């Protein structure tokens, strides 16, 4: 096939922005990849809900199913690697749907010919270690090799299944629900970009990549029915995820800037790199919506857990500004918008 394309044909090519997880991704996927599919008749949460996973009733139980492909560049980065990311990403997508106990994971690995065997061993070891941390097992898998130059190193798809006793969809927020985050934001995206650009900050920047199912299980144990919504703010950052939750729940969300946990190192590096921590990927943080009566006890439970020491109540769902996120900056209010393009491609 000729590489030459006319300008009009060029318009029809996929761009990096289509992978950013924002409006361009939604348009492309809804017009192509999901258009031909109906909705599973009994799905509580299905394909067209665009949530972290699907929820399908099986007997009396809610089966949660999710899948994610990992293309992070570089595959080894401060605080983690593509193996830890692949396991954590899928475990967390299950957990934020309410399935904190993993029934099983699958792992499909595509490797470029000539790839160092030593790297593959490191990745596999990291996957196994992260599985132990998450009390999860890979129960099925697939391995393919593509020609040299046909792929950039290694790509991993992981899928997972679990059972949710109480489903926590993006759309579950109601006015007055308190919005919590489980930790400081922006660490994965900022540290990855600093590594990729070869910028040596004095600050210790490390990805937050980690499985959160143990932390979220403790929150659900503390107040199961009172946790109304959960989401992991990955590709589009806290800003993108809060906008999605506001839109799907048909509420506004009001956030107070000074309550949002961000380390000074991330803020400083973000300023130098021109990146807003609100719009940068996290891989070890979750957002929770909690009914006001239970918010304090859930927050305390999170903070008592080693993975939730920096958890904070950052705002609440409100009745107006539906579908939007209002940020109180301390000197005034402004809308917090989702990123229109990917600040950092190949981040997860």
Q: Which residues bind Mg ion (CB under 5 A)?
A: 52, 93, 232
> What tokens were used for 248?
């799907």
CB 235, min distance to Mg ion, A = 8
Whose tokens are 């759309």? That residue is 171
Q: Which residue, judged by CB position, is nearest to Mg ion in the bound state?
A: 52
CB 93, min distance to Mg ion, A = 5
Residue 223's contacts (CB-CB under 8 Å, 6 or more residues apart) are: 290, 291, 294, 297, 298, 301
Select 153 or 162, whichever has its Cβ closest to Mg ion.
162
- Cis status, amide bond into 96, omega within 30 of 0: no
CB 138, min distance to Mg ion, A = 19
CB 310 within 8 A of CB 260: no
Torsion angle in degrees (nearest 10) through CA of 178, 245, 311, 99: 110
Select 226 or 236, whichever has its Cβ closest to Mg ion.
236
297 burial type by CB count under 10 A (0-12 exposed, 13-18 middle, 19+ buried): middle
CB 246, min distance to Mg ion, A = 16
Select 111 or 173, whichever has its Cβ closest to Mg ion.
173
CB 143, min distance to Mg ion, A = 25
Select 52 or 187, whichever has its Cβ closest to Mg ion.
52
Select 88 or 107, whichever has its Cβ closest to Mg ion.
88
CB 46, min distance to Mg ion, A = 16
Alpha helices in the chain (DSSP H): 7-10, 23-31, 82-95, 117-133, 187-197, 213-223, 237-249, 264-273, 292-304
CB 211, min distance to Mg ion, A = 13
CB 286 within 8 A of CB 98: no
Select 195 or 232, whichever has its Cβ closest to Mg ion.
232
Q: What are phi and psi of 173, to 5 degrees?
A: -70, 140
CB 92, min distance to Mg ion, A = 7
Select 100 or 273, whichever has its Cβ closest to Mg ion.
100
Length of the chain, please?
Answer: 348
Helix (H), strand (E) counts: the chain: 9, 14
> What tokens were used for 275?
């990146």
CB 83, min distance to Mg ion, A = 18
Select 46 or 175, whichever has its Cβ closest to Mg ion.
46
CB 42 within 8 A of CB 57: yes
> What tokens were used for 314?
């950052």
SS3 102: strand
Select 269 or 348, whichever has its Cβ closest to Mg ion.
348
């Amino acid at each position: 096939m000729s590489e030459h394309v006319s300008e009009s044909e060029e318009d029809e090519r996929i761009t990096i922005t289509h992978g950013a997880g924002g409006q361009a991704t939604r348009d492309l996927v809804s017009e192509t990849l999901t258009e031909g599919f109906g909705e599973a008749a009994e799905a509580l949460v299905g394909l067209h809900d665009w949530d972290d996973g699907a929820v399908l009733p099986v007997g009396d139980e809610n089966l949660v199913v999710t899948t994610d492909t990992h293309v992070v560049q570089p595959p080894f980065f401060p605080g983690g690697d593509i193996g830890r990311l692949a396991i954590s990403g899928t475990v967390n997508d299950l957990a934020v749907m309410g399935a904190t106990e993993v029934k099983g994971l699958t792992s499909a690995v595509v490797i470029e010919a000539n790839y160092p065997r030593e790297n593959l061993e490191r990745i596999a070891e990291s996957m196994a270690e992260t599985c132990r941390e998450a009390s999860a097992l890979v129960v099925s898998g697939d391995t393919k090799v593509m020609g040299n130059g046909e792929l950039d190193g290694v790509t991993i798809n992981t899928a997972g299944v679990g059972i949710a006793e109480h489903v926590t969809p993006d759309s579950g927020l109601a006015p007055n629900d308190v919005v919590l985050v489980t930790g400081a934001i922006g660490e994965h995206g900022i540290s990855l970009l600093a590594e990729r650009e070869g910028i040596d900050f004095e600050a210790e920047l490390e990805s937050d990549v980690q499985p959160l199912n143990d932390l979220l299980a403790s929150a659900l144990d503390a107040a199961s029915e009172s946790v109304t919504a959960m989401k992991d703010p990955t590709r589009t950052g806290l800003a993108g995820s809060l906008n999605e939750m506001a839109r799907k729940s048909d509420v506004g969300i009001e956030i107070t800037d000074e309550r949002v946990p961000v380390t000074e190192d991330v803020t400083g590096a973000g300023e130098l790199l021109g990146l807003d921590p609100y719009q940068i990927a996290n891989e070890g943080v979750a957002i929770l919506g909690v009914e006001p009566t239970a918010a304090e006890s859930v927050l305390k439970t999170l903070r008592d857990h080693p993975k939730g020491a920096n958890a904070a109540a950052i705002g609440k769902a409100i009745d107006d500004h539906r579908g939007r996120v209002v940020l109180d900056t301390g000197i005034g209010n402004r809308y917090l918008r989702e990123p229109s393009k990917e600040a950092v491609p190949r981040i997860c």
